[in-house]
Amino acid sequence: MPAGIKKKKSQLLAKAALVLDALQKRYPEPQTHLVAHNAWELLVATILSAQCTDARVNMVTPALFALWPSPRDLAAAPLEKVEECIRSTGFYRNKAKNIIAAAQRITTVYAGEVPSTMHDLITLAGVARKTANVVLWGAFGRNEGIAVDTHVGRIAFRLGLASGHDPAVTEKEMMALFPKTAWGVVNHSMVWFGRQVCDARKPLCQECEFLQICERNGL
């Protein structure tokens, strides 16, 4: 590896270490905002959270899980009733179709248990790497990747830890910079940080602990 590239990589690693340290100080126990009591509920809530606030999802899921508590229950649920129940989360037709199809696959292929590997999770309807990463860490404590949502992608790019806006590329770049044991923490603490400090439109840079090391890319 040429010396210049090696140096750049070591600088990025040092920056990532600083960022992780500061995020852990700010958020000692970062957790998802979604209310869920088991892997199944977390999976459904995460699917519903696409293009929707967590607060809105949390308003909808109690009724949904009261009517259809398990994958087996939801697998047999009438589509129109599920649509009605989750309507306020947006894109409700697709989401209803997806959570029913996921429930059916979990029931028939995985004996009613949410699978605990990336390989199996991404075979479920409505589940891509981002959702699978959230479920793997939140429900099983497994770090198989870094969920790159809008907050994580934006902050990583602004800080100069990611080269662009493609979530798949950003995930790979960040996985190379942060220790595997911290991947779930990186995701959840960056989501909080994005909501509280590094806002998409009005980032609070003067109050930010990263001001001296942030490239403020895109600003």
Active site residues: 130, 149
Told to check if 74 binds ligand SF4 by CB under 6 A, we report no
Told to check if 115 binds ligand SF4 by CB under 6 A, we report no
Told to check if 200 binds ligand SF4 by CB under 6 A, we report no
Asked whether 59 and 30 are in contact (CB, 8 A), the reply is no
Told to check if 35 binds ligand SF4 by CB under 6 A, we report no
Told to check if 162 binds ligand SF4 by CB under 6 A, we report no
Asked whether 86 and 48 are in contact (CB, 8 A), the reply is yes
Told to check if 142 binds ligand SF4 by CB under 6 A, we report no
The Cα 74–Cα 124 span in angstroms is 14
CB of 206 to ligand SF4, least distance (A): 8
The Cα 50–Cα 150 span in angstroms is 11
CA distances 67 to 63, 78, 82, 123, 215, Å, are 6, 11, 9, 25, 49
Contact pick of 15, 105, 158, 188 for ligand SF4 (by CB under 6 A) = 158
Stretch that binds ligand SF4, among 10-18, 33-41, 109-117, 207-215 (CB under 6 A): 207-215
The Cα 150–Cα 157 span in angstroms is 11
Name residue 103's amino acid.
Answer: A
Kindly tell me which of 71 and 203 has the beta carbon lying closer to ligand SF4: 203
Q: What are residue 213's phi and psi, to 5 degrees?
A: -110, -5
Contact pick of 198, 200, 201, 202 for ligand SF4 (by CB under 6 A) = 198
Contact pick of 56, 77, 159, 180 for ligand SF4 (by CB under 6 A) = 159
Residue found by looking up tokens 């909501």 in the block = 195
Stretch that binds ligand SF4, among 66-74, 122-130, 140-148, 208-216 (CB under 6 A): 208-216
Residue 120 CB partners (closer than 8 Å, separation 6+):
110
Contact pick of 99, 197, 200, 201 for ligand SF4 (by CB under 6 A) = 197
Query: How many residues bind to ligand SF4 according to rule CB under 6 A?
Result: 14
Q: How far is C-alpha 133 from the geometric centre of its chain's CA atoms?
A: 6
Kindly tell me which of 12 and 208 has the beta carbon lying closer to ligand SF4: 208
Told to check if 97 binds ligand SF4 by CB under 6 A, we report no
Rounded (to 5) percent helix, strand, coil in the chain? 65, 0, 35
Q: Contact residues for ligand SF4 (CB under 6 A)?
A: 155, 158-159, 197-198, 203-205, 208, 210-211, 214, 216, 219
